[in-house]
Amino acid sequence: MKIHLVDGTYELFRAYYGVPSVLSPDGTEVGAVRGLVQTLLSLLRQDDVTHVGCAFDSVVESSVIRCFLDIRLLMVCQKILRINLL
């Protein structure tokens, strides 16, 4: 018996930015979900693998999220300044 525990948040992020864009028939972006499912299925297809668990971060704020939000805020501020100065 072999078990894999996957960091779902990381894999979903990786799939979102690493997999080509795919739209469902109603126009919803599904490329990231498709990429995540493909990753999980590839793990299940390995020899002796019986289980795959996928854990996602909770809504608790992390330093990575704070850093990302700070960068996004900085980018928005730069755009506003650029527009107002031109």
Same domain, 45 and 11: yes
Same domain, 32 and 69: no
Same domain, 71 and 37: no
Put simply, whether the predicted model's pTM sits higher than 0.85 gets the answer no
Same domain, 32 and 63: no
Q: Where residue 31 falls among pLDDT bands split at 50, 70, 90?
A: confident
| Counted domains in the chain | 2
Q: Where residue 34 falls among pLDDT bands split at 50, 70, 90?
A: confident
The domain in which residue 45 lies consists of 1-55
With vertex at residue 33, the alpha carbon angle to CA 27 and CA 26, rounded to the nearest 5 degrees, is 15
With vertex at residue 10, the alpha carbon angle to CA 7 and CA 16, rounded to the nearest 5 degrees, is 135
The yes-or-no verdict on residue 84 having pLDDT over 70 is: no
Intra-chain end-to-end CA distance of the chain, in Å: 64
Q: What is the mean pLDDT of residues 75-84?
A: 64
Percent of the chain with pLDDT over 70: 66
Percent of the chain with pLDDT over 90: 12
> What integer pLDDT is reported at residue 46 of this predicted model?
92
